[in-house]
Amino acid sequence: MDSLTHLVLGAAVGEVLAGKKIGRKAMFWGALVNTIPDLDVLGGLFLSDAHQVMFHRGITHSFLFVGICSFVLSWFFHLLWQGKKEWGLLDWFLFFAFGLLSHDLLDSLTGYGIGWFEPFSHLRVSFNSIFVADPFYTLPFLICILLALYAGKKSQRRRRFTHFGLFISTIYLFITLVNHYFVYHVAEKSLLRKHFSFDHLIVTPTPLNNFLWMAYTHDSLGSRIGYYSLLDKSPNIEFRRKYRNDSLLTPFNHLGDVKILKLISNGNYLITKEGKDIYFNDLRFGEMSGWDLSDTNFVFKFNVSTLDSNGYALNRMKYNVSYSNVLYSLTKRIMGK
């Protein structure tokens, strides 16, 4: 999820765990701890572009990191606050462990995937139920936390606002899981109705909402991609065939960066050619406006022909598109039009 969401969640977790004992400092430390895993973005300073994609949400989001980081931080804060006998080493350890775990659990619900089991396994866990930035989740939660911060140090309203924020945000996450389950079965039935074969099927929400979903398959030739809105009148998805074009990648298969890209995409990729350049497109991040256009750019485009030009492989600003038009078409498609 985005940084603001993690700050809000961390503040809420901190207040619940330690608000009664250390006051509003608990919200500050909770917010700070919840952002620690995302310090892996600093890997971009010394890693190649492909290795940075692999490193992000990797080891710093693992159970091993949670254990080691929680121990180090709890030891340090125990020494710093050793005069507070009512707040011991175990209390600090649980405070930091729950803060880090809440970050990892929330990130696992997105389509990016996180490395829970690094460095022992490169498996990426992703439940694909919420987009990496969802205002329907973040904004109500943020309002509750701001109201909690505004409340007095000893005010019961601080805890009430915090608990309510956690309650409504958790309910929303549950709804996203229900939506995922429902859309998955709509997509599966649509494929079977047309006798399309596939190895696996993935559904994931489109940007900034949980109403419009992208569904894509994996088979020996490539993928089929389709979109479904919860407001669509017909429980049917029209899929477009996209070929993987592995032959275009043959001259580059020996490159370490290409091997990394294949690993983290779990086979969900397409190869395209534009002029002399060959691009690796990761389906997990979706299309720029595929719900509206039959032929559009993928969000993740990695140029395997020129490896030193991929600093913005995941930066949508590199596309010459009107964001107002994309937002308008997205809203229109959400409404089932």
Q: Per residue in 209-257, pLDDT tens? A: 999 999 999 999 999 999 999 999 989 999 999 999 999 999 999 988 8
Average pLDDT, the chain: 90
Q: In what order do the strands lie in the sheet with 240-243?
A: 200-205, 212-218, 222-229, 240-243
Q: Could you tell me if 163 and 24 lie in one domain?
A: yes
Pick the last residue of a domain from 127, 142, 174.
Answer: 174
pLDDT at 316: 47
Pick the last residue of a domain from 112, 143, 174.
Answer: 174
Q: Could you tell me if 205 and 168 lie in one domain?
A: no
Report if residue 180 sits inside a domain. no
Q: Confidence class of residue 317 from pLDDT cuts 50, 70 and 90?
A: very low
Report if residue 183 sits inside a domain. no
Q: Confidence class of residue 99 from pLDDT cuts 50, 70 and 90?
A: very high
Q: Cα–Cα distances in Å, from 275 out to 97, 138, 296, 305? A: 50, 41, 16, 11
Q: Are 116 and 63 in contact (CB under 8 A)?
A: yes
pLDDT at 292: 82
Q: Could you tell me if 170 and 202 lie in one domain?
A: no
Encode pLDDT of 145-190 as tens digits. Answer: 999 988 876 678 889 999 999 999 999 999 999 999 999 999 999 9
Q: Could you tell me if 43 and 170 lie in one domain?
A: yes
Report if residue 111 sits inside a domain. yes
pLDDT at 314 over 60: no
Q: What is the DSSP string of 101-124?
A: HHHHHHHHTSSS-B-TTTTT--PP
Report if residue 159 sits inside a domain. yes
The Cα–Cα gap between 189 and 227 comes to 14
Q: Could you tell me if 155 and 202 lie in one domain?
A: no
- Higher per-residue confidence, 23 vs 102: 102
Q: Could you tell me if 20 and 150 lie in one domain?
A: yes
Q: Could you tell me if 198 and 308 lie in one domain?
A: yes
Handedness of CA 9, 59, 128, 207 (dihedral sign): positive
pLDDT at 320: 61
Mean pLDDT of 23-44: 90
Q: Could you tell me if 240 and 319 lie in one domain?
A: yes
pLDDT at 319: 55
Q: Could you tell me if 110 and 236 lie in one domain?
A: no
The Cα–Cα gap between 257 and 262 comes to 9
Report if residue 186 sits inside a domain. no
pLDDT at 45 over 80: no
Report if residue 188 sits inside a domain. no
Q: Coil, strand, or helix at residue 205? A: strand
Report if residue 226 sits inside a domain. yes
pLDDT at 294: 75
Q: What is the pTM of this model?
A: 0.91
Q: Could you tell me if 225 and 81 lie in one domain?
A: no
Burial string for 5-33 (b: 16+ CB within 10 Å, else e) reads bbbbbbbbbbbbbbbeebebebbbbbbeb
Domain count along the chain: 2
Most confident of 50-59, 224-233, 249-258, 322-331: 224-233
The secondary structure of residue 310, as a DSSP letter, is -
For the beta carbon of residue 254, count every other beta carbon within 10 angstroms: 8
Pick the last residue of a domain from 116, 146, 174.
Answer: 174
Q: Could you tell me if 88 and 150 lie in one domain?
A: yes
pLDDT at 94 over 90: yes
Q: Which of 103, 145, 110 is nearest to 129 (CA)?
A: 110
Report if residue 185 sits inside a domain. no
- Tell me which residue range forms the domain holding 316: 194-334
Q: Could you tell me if 156 and 16 lie in one domain?
A: yes
Mean pLDDT of 2-11: 96
Greatest C-alpha distance within the chain? 69
Structure tokens at 190: 């649509």
Encode pLDDT of 249-299 as tens digits. Answer: 999 999 888 999 998 898 899 999 988 889 999 999 888 888 887 778 888
